Structure 1
Amino acid sequence: MRPFRIFAALATLLLATTGSAPAEAAPAGSAVRPVTTCADLVRGFTLPGAATHVTAATVVTGDGPEYCGVQGYVEPAVRFELRLPTKTYAGRYLQYGCGAYCGVLTPPAFADCGLPHGGDVAVAATDDGHIGRTPAVVDDGSWGEHDQAARNDFEFRAPHVVSRASKAIIQAFYGAPPRKSYFTGCSDGGREGLLLAQRYPADFDGVVAGAPAGYWGPLLGVYQTWLARVNAGADGSPVLTAAKLSALHNAVVAACDRLDGLADGQLDDPRACHFDPATLTCAGPDTPACLTPAQVGVVRKLYAPPTDARGTLLYPGGQQPGSELAWAGWIVPTPETGGVSFARSLADNYLRYLGYPIDAPAAKVDDFAFTRGEFDRLTPVGARYNALSLDLSAFQRRGGKLVLWHGFADQAIPPAGTLDYYQRLTHGRPQDFARLFMVPSLKHCGGGTTLTEFDPLRELVAWVERGTTPTAVTATGRDGAGNVTRTRPVFTYPQRAVYDGTGSIDDAANFRPAPPKSAPHDVVDWAGDGLYVLSGPVAR
């Protein structure tokens, strides 16, 4: 699958005031009807700092709920699509984030927020202010080489102004702003969710931030470059190939599966696994069942964070044991990715076009120096993207709720970063506005070996509207035909799921929460310790 399709799929999974009205949500089954026609929305909306133009509005009927499909842009070039149910709207607004460098407008899907019918929520998505070039689209950063306005939109502005534009259009169509507003996204969309809670706390009542790329500058400039460089031989060809990944993954699972007390093909917490890839060293011919000494060295480096010559961590995490199958395409080039790993493509575009001030000297993947000096050179621009502020007090005071989640087998964004941020945010103590869920075996934003889907949106809505604090969210595993093969509860971190000893291990009903075996110590001492201060509001 081409990277464009991967991230387009993830993105789909994935009034002048900026806040929602404080009224209660509409009762289940009730609907708010439009007060004007869909066609009447084709006009301009004068919003300070976010002049909005609706270019098309058409009633759409089909298999799903009937809706008014709105297309437009916020000046200068933030395209958006907004879908307004004509018969089933119940007062909620949901905005989706996007993936990688965005640049594509993915039609927003209607979401199940817990009411007995579909289409009870108005939904919107944006391309974040630019159009990516083909073939991959979402890994293209060339649009930002000389365009600071486009950079501003992608760095922080686009999700905020689309929120304002959508609420103004909702006000015009239904006669009132949304009662409750939600944001959900994964990867860059997760970064956007954190950014909105930190910098624009009045925009949304609830935020889901999945696998958040909050450490944006270090992640794209250093970590993806590290992934590309570690697996490149002297001639540029990959040292570790996709043919070796199955044997490596199977060996990891065989060594560590029972550490969580259950042989179920997944590592509930891969940090407990200390697998040595040298146990797979080829004793004879090089075959897919073993690793050459050079490949052993690559695997060891992938499991570790990048460092400088003094051992200072330049990113707060590395690949986790159990994520090996997901390395194909992202870290290890495959024919489906055109023979270039997605990590290399992301790093190359970031260093060339997005990571430094316009017209400043840039770096390249193959000559980037893993030093504190080069890390610091990425910081001035990176801090504009980063979503690392630990001050969410304004969001909390408004009653905002934040659900963070991350797959433990994420090959793109190491889960250690989210754990680090969450412990810094909460000081290791339960908070009344933030919860974290760590999903075993889940890859980046979805897919995996045993669990493939995770979506806490319904739990977020219940938390915001009914005060039901989420304690568990059910993760689902499906096979290639879409059949459910496993359900498993994911409890609020740091609690873990323990089999109760009866029934199928593939049924979530047969698990109970248990405390961690030891108190978590997730804060990482790394080169970016100062970034949690630098990630505050910037010029709008």
Structure 2
Amino acid sequence: MGVKTWMGVAAGALMAAWALPATTAHAADCAGLTGLTLPEARILSADIVPAGPYKAPDGTVTFPDLPAFCRVVALAETNVKVEMWLPQAGWNGRLQGVGNGGFAGAVSYYTMGPALQAGFAVAGTDTGHGPAEGKPGTRLDWMHDPVQLANWGHNSIHRMTVAAKAIIRARYGTGATRAYFEGCSTGGAQAMAEAEYFPDDYDGIHAGAPGMNYTRLMMSFLWSSRATLLDPASTLPPEKLTLLHQAVLAACDAADGVKDGVVEDPRACHFDPAALQCAPGTDTAACLTPPQVTAVQALYAGPRNPRTGEAIYPGLARGSEWGWDLQQGKLLEAYVIPLFQNMVYDDLTWRWQGFDFDHDVALTDGKVGPIITAVTPDLSAFHARGGKLIMSQGWADQLNAQTYPIEYYHAVAGTKDPAQARVRLGDYFRLFMAPGMGHCFGGPGPNHFDAVTALRTWVEQGKAPDRLVAAKHADDRDPTSPVLRTRPLCPYPTVAHWTGTGSTDEAANFTCR
């Protein structure tokens, strides 16, 4: 969720078509934007949406109450679709870009509403291609087009951002004073592509659960599927996953002094699934068979080269077992097979069972890694221009290997010592690990928090975030539902500790140390 040289070549041939005459910035009413051609974008439509309930154009989400806004649809360079929601009144003078999920192919409307309500002019994109979901054995044409592939991999958010800033100038007669970006999963990878390759686009960036090492992430999904599906006896049914997760909590939940159904730092949890192994010749919901124990150990360990033993990608953390059903075929079908069949091998008959975790790793990294990953640890340009980066990762993420952001953080710092890393990166890069949080939201722990406001305070007031307060709602999909618990997320390497007094469901009673 890459290398600019390749993308520049891929997109360069189309750039000339967008080298249109410059226009002078002037304030325009919403309807007056329709048909306007800017050097950075061609506006297809612009319409006023009145205040009140609003259903997203694709029907994915209904917002109960939005302020009046100007909805702009435009095409940026290389036909990247951009949608902007511009406040009719009360604009805070800032741009917020929002990221996508999965293979994208559609605007992420559900993330645009909250940004608009906060006063931002907000921009989203389809990343340059239409509906992207495919089934095994289905050709995804955009994966075979160098420009569209490069847009999805790295370029589309930059295209969107350049266009969005121009549209803001055309609408309001002035540019945005600051720009912020927030994305999770693929959106987190987009966030890192911006920080690494387009450091001038945004003043503050939040990269949530970043799928930034996309090739290796796909290999981890493949590894989990092989461990649990090649031999049907290894598959972990829901009742076994519940058994395993409860056993992990019983062993490690209270280690931080608070028994709350969450493992605060899974690195300190060393639960051995062999403790659940069934007696010889038995198989009940209260134990794991030997093949199931082996499968669990493989998921904890993560993919490894069978010849050298070298780790290919981190394994899944203890405490994330509640969501491992996704790791047993669902992620394989939705992402791994379409990507490898189309992008890597160009062979719709390719079968996942034959992947070679020795030879095929280098093949995949070499062929598509430079196009779809964003893993360079050199953030010097982003740092030099005053950019601020918040990265967040749920410890109970059921998709991503939870420790990969920690590895990347240390790579940027150039040291494996956590205290030294924090000193070196503290003025521009902070990592927040969220105990019990799933992939982007949900999970047994608090998982709603406001990183963009923390970024604004950091960028505009110089106050670095020393904690983010996360909330656990009765319904994780509805942030207006009752709050059951709050907890501070602490900047790595610090961890939340209960003071020993007051409710353990209130963030105020915890310190970061």
User: Please, what TM-score do these two structures have when normalized by structure 1?
Assistant: 0.81
Asked if the contact 1:344/1:365 (under 8 Å) is kept, the reply is no
1:54 equivalenced with 2:40 (yes/no): no
1:399 equivalenced with 2:386 (yes/no): yes
Name the SS of the counterpart of 2:200 in structure 1.
coil
Which position in structure 2 is the counterpart of 1:131? 130
Shift of 1:285: 4.5
After superposition, the Cα gap between the structure-2 partners of 1:155 and 1:292, relative to the gap in structure 1 and judged at 3 Å, is same
- AA aligned to 1:408 is W
Name the SS of the counterpart of 1:413 in structure 2.
coil
CA distance in 1, matches of 2:138, 2:314: 25
After superposition, the Cα gap between the structure-2 partners of 1:477 and 1:200, relative to the gap in structure 1 and judged at 3 Å, is same
Q: Deviations over 1:50-103 (max 9, x none)?
A: 5x2221111111221110011122243311210000111021100001111111
Name the SS of the counterpart of 1:224 in structure 2.
helix
Name the SS of the counterpart of 2:97 in structure 1.
strand
Name the SS of the counterpart of 1:378 in structure 2.
helix
After superposition, the Cα gap between the structure-2 partners of 1:238 and 1:95, relative to the gap in structure 1 and judged at 3 Å, is farther
CA distance in 2, matches of 1:286, 1:303: 22
CA distance in 2, matches of 1:134, 1:420: 30
CA distance in 2, matches of 1:293, 1:92: 57
CA distance in 2, matches of 1:136, 1:402: 35
Asked if the contact 1:305/1:318 (under 8 Å) is kept, the reply is yes
RMSD: 2.3
Shift of 1:488: 0.4
Shift of 1:264: 2.0
After superposition, the Cα gap between the structure-2 partners of 1:36 and 1:119, relative to the gap in structure 1 and judged at 3 Å, is farther
Asked if the contact 1:54/1:73 (under 8 Å) is kept, the reply is yes
CA distance in 2, matches of 1:435, 1:369: 36
Q: How many residues align?
A: 460
Instruction: Name which of 220, 223, 227 aligns with 1:226.
Output: 223
1:35 equivalenced with 2:42 (yes/no): no
Which position in structure 2 is the counterpart of 1:82? 84
Shift of 1:396: 1.1
1:374 equivalenced with 2:370 (yes/no): no
Structure 1 runs not aligned, ≥5 long = 1-33, 333-339, 515-540
After superposition, the Cα gap between the structure-2 partners of 1:133 and 1:401, relative to the gap in structure 1 and judged at 3 Å, is closer
Q: Deviations over 1:222-242 (max 9, x none)?
A: 21211221111346x871112
Which position in structure 2 is the counterpart of 1:474? 469
Q: Which has the higher helix share?
A: 2
After superposition, the Cα gap between the structure-2 partners of 1:145 and 1:162, relative to the gap in structure 1 and judged at 3 Å, is closer
Asked if the contact 1:65/1:119 (under 8 Å) is kept, the reply is no
Structure 1 residues 36-45 or 467-476, which shifts more?
A: 36-45
Shift of 1:112: 6.0
Name the SS of the counterpart of 1:109 in structure 2.
helix
- Within 5 A, what are the aligned runs for 1:379-394? 379-380=365-366, 381-394=368-381
- AA aligned to 1:488 is R
Structure 2 runs not aligned, ≥5 long = 1-25, 53-64, 416-420
CA distance in 2, matches of 1:447, 1:140: 31
CA distance in 2, matches of 1:403, 1:141: 37
CA distance in 1, matches of 2:138, 2:73: 23
- Within 5 A, what are the aligned runs for 1:322-333? 322-328=319-325, 330-332=326-328
Name the SS of the counterpart of 2:285 in structure 1.
coil
Name the SS of the counterpart of 1:195 in structure 2.
helix
Moved runs in structure 1, 4+ residues, more than 6 A?
A: none
CA distance in 2, matches of 1:313, 1:142: 33
Name the SS of the counterpart of 1:248 in structure 2.
helix
Which position in structure 1 is the counterpart of 2:200? 202
CA distance in 1, matches of 2:236, 2:160: 43
Asked if the contact 2:248/2:318 (under 8 Å) is kept, the reply is yes
After superposition, the Cα gap between the structure-2 partners of 1:238 and 1:65, relative to the gap in structure 1 and judged at 3 Å, is farther
Asked if the contact 1:231/1:298 (under 8 Å) is kept, the reply is yes
CA distance in 2, matches of 1:487, 1:215: 31
Name the SS of the counterpart of 2:86 in structure 1.
strand
CA distance in 1, matches of 2:490, 2:285: 37
CA distance in 1, matches of 2:235, 2:113: 43
Asked if the contact 1:36/1:174 (under 8 Å) is kept, the reply is yes
CA distance in 2, matches of 1:91, 1:171: 11
CA distance in 1, matches of 2:344, 2:179: 32
Identical counterparts, % of pairs: 36
Shift of 1:454: 3.2
Which position in structure 1 is the counterpart of 2:7? none
Instruction: Name which of 435, 444, 451 aligns with 1:440.
Output: 435
CA distance in 2, matches of 1:140, 1:200: 33
Name the SS of the counterpart of 1:307 in structure 2.
coil
Q: Deviations over 1:121-178 (max 9, x none)?
A: 11111111112256889x9881334211210111111000000011100000000110
Which position in structure 1 is the counterpart of 2:283? 286
After superposition, the Cα gap between the structure-2 partners of 1:203 and 1:136, relative to the gap in structure 1 and judged at 3 Å, is farther
Q: Deviations over 1:1-43 (max 9, x none)?
A: xxxxxxxxxxxxxxxxxxxxxxxxxxxxxxxxx9321011112
Shift of 1:198: 0.9
1:510 equivalenced with 2:506 (yes/no): no
CA distance in 2, matches of 1:344, 1:135: 9
After superposition, the Cα gap between the structure-2 partners of 1:185 and 1:38, relative to the gap in structure 1 and judged at 3 Å, is same
Q: Deviations over 1:209-255 (max 9, x none)?
A: 011111112212x21211221111346x8711122111110010001
Which position in structure 1 is the counterpart of 2:397? 410
CA distance in 1, matches of 2:190, 2:124: 12
1:354 equivalenced with 2:354 (yes/no): no
Which position in structure 2 is the counterpart of 1:27? none
User: Please, what TM-score do these two structures have when normalized by structure 2?
Assistant: 0.85
1:251 equivalenced with 2:238 (yes/no): no
